[in-house]
Amino acid sequence: MSQLDDAINSFCDAVRAHIPKARFGEAKAASISAVKKKLKLPEELIKFYQVADPTSVKIPTLDGEVTLYPVRSLISKQKGFRWHPKTGRKLPEWNEHWLVIGDEDGDPFIIDTRLKRPPHAVYRDYLDTDQWSPARVGDSLPQFLDLLRVWVDIIVGDCSLKITDKDDQLLPSVEAKLSPRVEAITDDPDLIDYWTYPA
């Protein structure tokens, strides 16, 4: 079993265990082909959709939720990023290699499709900035899924989102659970900071 297979299976298991309303499916070849006519899809992402298309996956966060897009929504979800939502014209400030695969309350999660082979890094950006400047949140799709799984297991599952004190600081008991799990996946300080100090 590949690293991607392991990451997909573990992620789906965690989501199903802690978010009972979440649903995964298996994207049909015709649906993937239709998207590929308009958008570049990395092979890892295609595999994810083939075995775990997130037909209804919304992961609670402190103030909202992370939504992963099913393949049927990929084209429409590029509006406002890649294309103007009304005219359909390409927006010049958007990098043509960026593909929005989900969001956290509108702030996009982006996979970089520039490379022909994996790994394809995953980034996050924010809508309330003057220009797009995505920050890396995973060195690859499997790593991103692994890190998101840790959030689901600990923050959603173990802690029921009760993770900060009255000053919005991460509780030491939560950090003690979260940090070792994140650091087992990555030793990159930027990624550790993003995933262990949720805002």
Q: For residue 198, what pLDDT is reported?
A: 62
Q: Please, what are the domains in the chain? A: 3-196 (3.40.1580.10)
Cα atoms in the 13 Å half-sphere on the side-chain side of 149? 20
Is residue 69 over pLDDT 60?
yes
pLDDT band at 29; cut points 50, 70, 90: very high
Is residue 91 over pLDDT 90?
no
Is residue 199 over pLDDT 60?
no
Taking each helix axis from N to C end, the angle separating 189-196 and 141-150, rounded to the nearest 10 degrees, works out to 40
What stretch of H or E contains 47? helix 43-52
**166: Cβ contacts below 8 Å, ≥ 6 apart:** none
pLDDT band at 130; cut points 50, 70, 90: confident
Q: Are 191 and 181 in contact (CB under 8 A)?
A: no
Residue 95 exposed, middle or buried by CB count within 10 Å (0-12, 13-18, 19+): middle
Six-digit token string for 182: 């994140």
Q: Are 175 and 158 in contact (CB under 8 A)?
A: no
Q: Are 66 and 58 in contact (CB under 8 A)?
A: yes
pLDDT band at 92; cut points 50, 70, 90: confident
Six-digit token string for 33: 């082909």
pLDDT band at 60; cut points 50, 70, 90: very high
Six-digit token string for 117: 């082979």
Six-digit token string for 19: 């978010």
Is residue 13 over pLDDT 90?
yes
Distance (Å, whole) CA 159 – CA 104: 20
pTM for this one?
0.94
Q: For residue 87, what pLDDT is reported?
A: 87
Span 169-196, mean pLDDT?
A: 94
For 153-163, how does the pLDDT look when each residue is reduced to its tens digit (9 = 90+)?
A: 999 999 999 99
Q: For residue 150, what pLDDT is reported?
A: 97
Q: For residue 117, what pLDDT is reported?
A: 84
Is residue 42 over pLDDT 70?
yes
**DSSP type of residue 118:** S
Q: For residue 53, what pLDDT is reported?
A: 98
What Cα–Cα distance (Å) separates residue 11 from each residue in 16, 22, 48, 117?
9, 12, 11, 22
